[in-house]
């Protein structure tokens, strides 16, 4: 626990810690856990009821548990990224990863003229793409050769090889780090159909090929091609393991506790002020909050940062946002693979997306959903008592749609304090989108509407409300100044670091975990990620709590002080 300090006059009491982490997404929890394992007194602040950010779950009807953002994880074999991060904290044995069908295919891509099952391994992936695109086989080989070179350089950089050394080894490969996926597809001579099959999983980062860096795309693919997995018990089980490590090593998680501002004096961070006026003093502050909110709101913009950085941040654009429709059925769906499905209504993904946006711009309406991603929790975590009752199905349908307030018929989103949820225009748009998504899903799965026991739609405004993400996107910034650069974890303010989906380490579970490790490495002055890959363990498993019968990761993720507070949704 932090040191309690007496307040001055009638002001609220102050508290002192070695570090304060604002936000409890996976990036924040990784940072906090390792700082606590190093012996620091760490406080994590979370405005929501539970920790986890986009990795948290919610429950409905005492029968169904839905994952918000954990659909599958890559590189979770014995020497994988997330297992190594968990191992370094001493909690590796507390999270089990269930493999998807890494031989038959963990992703199924469906277009009107093709079906490609994506297996683990670049060579097998190349062979299946070439078989689906026989007239473009040479182009596929050129692209995969380029992709593996860029992905290999990225992996080496992640594990500590200096960029200058990577440029010395292969300057031509490293130049591709500044180019887009679209430029690489053009360079290799791929058709619109070929581009669609190679970029079909664009929903993993929320951008079309011309709007995402090649390095980000191939890093994402390399991550999954090392094997795709799902955490047993869902994303909250992973979050709970990080919370257990934090608390076991002397750290503290406070949920329902919101930061008002980050305190900065003479160019260095000195703590955080909460919305109730309490001041938490610390020489180290890590913001896992939205980057734009961190710079412009929590830190006061020009009060803390150079004017050019503030201007860049104000002008930043965000990645596409996601609409997710959560569905439960009172029956099992037949013949489903243990895989995600990426369905595209045409062989030209980019053209169909542009046509959708053009139709909306001209008419103010949608007439179709051009692409849809399916994630089947009841297949990936089969038999889990929390996912759904035996004989039922639990799955999620996701598509990329505009996030603007105009599209959603609101006068202001949650970050601006706008009361959007009951506005007729918002509800009408939400109903329209839900029906179009279900129509598209039934083209793939067959009719299922008459077996629905629960259906619920989350919009970009839903995500903004719970995660406080600018634009309601889970993918972070699209542009931040020139090109597609993103901020580093270090900031211009001494003692202030940023982690999460907006940093240069990227979005997704692996990206934010790597960003958290990078932040801790800077703070502790040691290459922690390469160390934990080599087997270093900072945490002490003997200090971890025993898990009793009925252990509930959602309860654990509320923090020790609020585990038994009212309002926890239950299963059964």
Structure confidence by residue, pLDDT tens digits, 528-541: 999 999 999 999 99
State how far Cα 472 lies from the chain centre. Answer: 12
Q: Give the integer Cα–Cα distance in Å for 286 and 42.
A: 10
The rounded radius of gyration (Å) of the Cα atoms in the chain is: 23
| pLDDT for position 8 | 42
Domain ranges of the chain: 3-97+232-315+480-562, 122-225, 320-472
Provide CB contacts within 8 A for 160, sequence distance 6+.
527, 529, 530
Residue 406: pLDDT band with limits 50, 70, 90: confident
Structure confidence by residue, pLDDT tens digits, 332-370: 999 999 999 999 999 999 999 999 999 999 998 899 999
| pLDDT for position 417 | 66
DSSP 551-568: --HHHHTT-GGGTT-TT-
3-class secondary structure, 437: helix
- Please return the burial class of 314, using the count of CB atoms within 10 Å of its CB with bins 0-12, 13-18 and 19+: exposed
The b-or-e profile of 399-425 (16+ CB within 10 A means b, else e) is: bbbbbebebbbbeebbbeebebeeeee
Structure confidence by residue, pLDDT tens digits, 442-476: 999 999 999 999 999 999 999 988 989 998 899 99
Provide CB contacts within 8 A for 304, sequence distance 6+.
262, 264, 295, 492, 493
Helices (H) and strands (E) counted in the chain, each on its own, are: 20, 24
Share of the chain above pLDDT 70, in %: 96
Mean residue pLDDT of the chain comes to: 94
Answer whether residue 481 shows pLDDT above 90. no
Q: Give the integer Cα–Cα distance in Å for 96 and 552.
A: 15
Q: Give the integer Cα–Cα distance in Å for 428 and 154.
A: 44
Q: What is the mean pLDDT of residues 170-190?
A: 94
C-alpha pair distances (Å), 2 with each of 40, 41, 442: 10, 7, 54
Q: What is the mean pLDDT of residues 234-238?
A: 97
Bridge-based pairing of strands 259-265 and 268-274 is antiparallel
- Please return the burial class of 141, using the count of CB atoms within 10 Å of its CB with bins 0-12, 13-18 and 19+: middle
State how far Cα 71 lies from the chain centre. Answer: 10
Sheet holding 496-498, edge to edge: 252-255, 42-46, 19-22, 285-287, 496-498
In DSSP terms, 108 is beta-bridged to 117, 341
In DSSP terms, 65 is beta-bridged to 59
Bridge-based pairing of strands 19-22 and 452-458 is unpaired
Structure tokens at 245: 């490590």
Q: Give the integer Cα–Cα distance in Å for 271 and 281.
A: 4
Q: Give the integer Cα–Cα distance in Å for 279 and 252.
A: 16
Answer whether residue 7 shows pLDDT above 50. no
Sheet holding 3-5, edge to edge: 3-5, 14-16, 279-281, 268-274, 259-265
Residue 345, by phi and psi: left (phi above 0), alpha (psi -120 to 50) or beta? alpha
Share of the chain above pLDDT 90, in %: 84
CA atoms within 13 A of residue 450's CA, in its CB half-sphere? 2
Q: Give the integer Cα–Cα distance in Å for 314 and 171.
A: 34
Cα dihedral sign, 228-105-507-397: negative
Q: What is the mean pLDDT of residues 237-242?
A: 98
Q: Give the integer Cα–Cα distance in Å for 27 and 471.
A: 20
| pLDDT for position 392 | 98
The owner of tokens 């974890």 is 489
Q: What is the mean pLDDT of residues 486-499?
A: 97
Contact 120, 129 (CB under 8 A): no
| pLDDT for position 250 | 98
Q: Which CATH code, of 2.60.40.1180, 3.50.50.60, 3.40.1280.10, 1.20.120.420, is assigned to 3-97+232-315+480-562?
A: 3.50.50.60
The owner of tokens 């779950």 is 57
CA atoms within 13 A of residue 164's CA, in its CB half-sphere? 0
Lowest mean pLDDT among 279-288, 408-417, 454-463: 408-417
Structure confidence by residue, pLDDT tens digits, 118-133: 999 999 999 999 999 9
Lowest mean pLDDT among 171-180, 493-502, 553-562: 171-180
Q: Which of 101, 377, 36 is nearest to 236 (CA)?
A: 377
Longest Cα separation, the chain: 79
Answer whether residue 404 shows pLDDT above 90. no
Tell me, what DSSP letter sits at residue 160?
T
Provide CB contacts within 8 A for 491, sequence distance 6+.
305, 497, 498
Q: Which of 472, 196, 442, 212 is nearest to 324 (CA)?
A: 472
Answer whether residue 422 shows pLDDT above 90. no
Residue 1: pLDDT band with limits 50, 70, 90: low
Q: What is the mean pLDDT of residues 374-385?
A: 97
Q: What is the mean pLDDT of residues 501-521?
A: 94
Contact 253, 559 (CB under 8 A): yes
């Amino acid at each position: 626990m932090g040191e309690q300090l007496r307040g001055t006059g009638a002001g609220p009491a102050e508290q002192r810690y070695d570090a304060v982490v604002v936000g409890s997404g996976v990036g924040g929890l990784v940072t906090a856990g390792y700082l606590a394992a190093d012996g620091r007194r760490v406080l994590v602040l979370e405005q929501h009821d539970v920790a986890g950010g986009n990795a948290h779950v919610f429950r409905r009807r005492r029968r169904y548990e839905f994952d918000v953002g954990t659909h599958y994880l890559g590189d979770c074999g014995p020497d994988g990224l997330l297992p190594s991060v968990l191992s370094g904290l001493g909690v590796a044995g507390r999270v089990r990863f269930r493999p998807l069908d890494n031989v038959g295919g963990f992703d199924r891509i469906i277009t009107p003229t093709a079906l490609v099952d994506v297996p683990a391994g670049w060579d097998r992936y190349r062979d299946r793409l070439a078989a689906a695109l026989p007239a473009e086989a040479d182009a596929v080989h050129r692209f995969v050769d380029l992709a593996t070179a860029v992905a290999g350089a990225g992996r080496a950089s992640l594990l500590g090889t200096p960029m200058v050394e990577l440029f010395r080894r292969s300057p031509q490969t490293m130049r591709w780090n500044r180019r887009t996926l679209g430029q690489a597809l053009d360079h290799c001579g791929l058709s619109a159909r070929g581009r669609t099959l190679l970029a079909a999983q664009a929903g993993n980062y929320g951008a079309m090929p011309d709007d995402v860096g090649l390095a980000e795309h191939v890093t994402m693919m390399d991550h999954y091609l090392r094997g795709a997995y799902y955490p047993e018990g869902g994303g909250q089980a992973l979050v709970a393991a990080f919370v257990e490590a934090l608390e076991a090593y002397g750290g503290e998680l406070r949920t329902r506790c919101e930061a008002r501002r980050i305190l900065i004096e003479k160019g260095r961070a000195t703590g955080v002020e909460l919305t109730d006026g309490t001041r938490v003093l610390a020489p180290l502050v890590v913001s896992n909050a939205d980057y734009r909110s961190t710079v412009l709101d929590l830190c006061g913009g020009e009060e803390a940062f150079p004017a050019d950085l503030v201007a860049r941040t104000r002008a930043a654009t965000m990645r596409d946002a996601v609409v997710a429709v959560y569905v439960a059925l009172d029956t099992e769906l037949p013949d489903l693979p243990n895989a995600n499905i990426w369905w595209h209504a045409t062989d030209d993904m980019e053209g169909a997306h542009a046509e959708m946006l053009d139709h909306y711009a001209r008419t103010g309406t949608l007439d179709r959903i051009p692409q849809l991603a399916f994630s089947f929790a009841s297949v990936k975590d089969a038999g889990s008592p929390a996912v759904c009752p035996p004989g039922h199905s639990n799955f999620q349908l996701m598509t990329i749609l505009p996030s603007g307030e105009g599209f959603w018929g609101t006068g202001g989103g949650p970050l601006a304090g706008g009361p959007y949820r009951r506005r007729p225009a918002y509800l009408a748009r939400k109903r329209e989108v839900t029906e179009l998504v279900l129509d598209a899903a039934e083209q793939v799965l067959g009719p299922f509407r008459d077996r629905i026991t629960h259906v619920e739609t989350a919009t970009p405004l839903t995500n903004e409300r719970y995660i406080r993400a600018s634009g309601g996107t889970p993918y972070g910034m699209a542009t931040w100044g020139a090109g597609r650069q993103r901020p580093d974890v270090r900031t211009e303010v001494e003692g202030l670091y940023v982690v999460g989906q907006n940093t240069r380490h990227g979005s997704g579970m692996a990206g934010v975990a790597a960003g958290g490790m990078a932040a801790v490495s800077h703070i502790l002055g040691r290459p922690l990620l390469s160390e934990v890959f080599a087997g270093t363990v900072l945490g002490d498993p003997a200090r971890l709590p025993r898990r009793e019968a009925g252990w509930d990761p959602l309860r654990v993720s509320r923090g020790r002080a609020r585990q038994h507070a009212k309002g926890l949704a239950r299963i059964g």
